[in-house]
Amino acid sequence: MTLQEIIEKDRKYYMNTFGDRTPVCFSHGKGISLWDLDGNEYYDFLAGIAVSALGHSHPAVVNAICDQAKKFIHCSNLYYIESQVKLAELIVENSCADKVFFANSGAEANEGAIKLARLYFKKKGYSNKIEIITLEKSFHGRTLATIAATGQDKYQKPYSPLTPKFLKVPINDLKAMEEAICENTCAVMIEPIQGEGGVNPTSYEYIKGLRELCDKNGILLIFDEVQCGLGRTGKLFGYQHYGVEPDIFTLAKALGGGFPVGALCAKDHVAKTFEPGDHGSTFGGNPLACSVAYAVLSTIINDKLCENAEETGNYFFEKIEAVKRKHPVINEVRGKGLMIGIEFSRPIAKEVNKKCFENRYLLGTVGNSIIRVLPPLIVTKADIDGLIEMLDNVLSEFD
């Protein structure tokens, strides 16, 4: 089909949840590049919104899919699954978690975290401890419970009334958090670095204080690492930047390198709350998803892609400084590793992103003032140079 035929059929048959999409359809990809139906090459600095950690068509992902699909794709969790056990072991051996449960997405993993935190206190006899405090500008998913946990009105208003017992406080404000904690609080749930909210890092002091607050009040600390985990920030997990460990954390996005999979990870004192029948999934942890995720996580670790994310991320921040000085329309550049937000002093992000697309660079936006840079973890300094040169040229039109 031609691009126009695809667009017309999309409008006719697909639910209009995405509106008019960027007018392109890709036929294939390799590394950080994607090619459209006409053979034009695009440089992917969005990575499917922090999903394609190894880039496109990476041999580790392709081989894992093909090898497992030739054997069998799915079996029930009524039976033992070798790749599920191997993946759980790999996560536990490289993190602060003791146990893992596999879901199909980040939203499902976060739903599991919410259920686990509430059930933890219920089984201890605290039926009142059901409130979870989250942060303003946070994003935790699109199910009803995770929308309720999300700290952005635009996601919540269409679905009100929401699932109750979620309270939002400002980011990096320990006093506000302390005042919000009460006898009904069971957990605090945060993203160490907010993604959909505009790439907003929490401070070292804030996270240290947050851990102390949770310990002091006997409540659980949950980290949503769906976007910032698995090497994105220059370390395998976001919590490793702060010298603290959460009681529960969640993963998804990069875990499958493009294949749908999520993980609910917890320390043993919390994980043992779940007993047979308390939680489950038909597709979660299936042999194919776990085989792919094992290949992706192994590659991230063995190929030292966390280190590459840190090095190329630092390189980007160094190079963008000259662009920022040259183009005052850039208000701030923030983030860690390869999780980067460029905030403008005017609401031009969508126009800038359109110009980037015309130059065949794929980036993301948050609202009207922020561009998001989330390249695959395999990105090189030469790739960064190309992005910087393109941004410099594009922003000349907005001075």
329 in Cβ contact with 398 (< 8 Å): yes
Give me the catalytic one of 253, 319, 336, 355: 253
Pairing of strands 200-201, 193-194: antiparallel
Judge whether 344 and 382 are in contact, CB under 8 Å. Answer: no
Query: For residue 397, which of 360, 353, 363 has the smallest C-alpha distance?
Result: 353
Nearest to 257 by CA among 35, 96, 53, 22: 53
Q: Which two tokens stand for residue 226?
A: 């769906």
In this structure, the strands spanning 220-224 and 248-251 are parallel
Whose CA is closest to 89, among 80, 81, 100, 73?
A: 100
Q: Is 223 a catalytic residue?
A: no
Q: Which residues contact 349 (CB under 8 A, 6 or more apart)?
A: 365, 366, 367, 368, 369, 370, 371
Q: Give Cα separations from 108 to 115, 154, 283, 284, 362 (angstroms).
A: 10, 21, 11, 9, 27
Question: Is 355 marked active-site?
Answer: no
Burial class (CB in 10 A: 0-12, 13-18, 19+), 395: buried
Catalytically annotated residue among 102, 166, 223, 224: 224
The answer to whether 224 is a known catalytic residue is yes
Spot the catalytic one: 102, 139, 237, 344.
139
Task: Give 30's contacts (C-beta < 8 A, 6+ positions apart).
Answer: 55, 56, 57
Which residues are tagged catalytic?
139, 224, 253
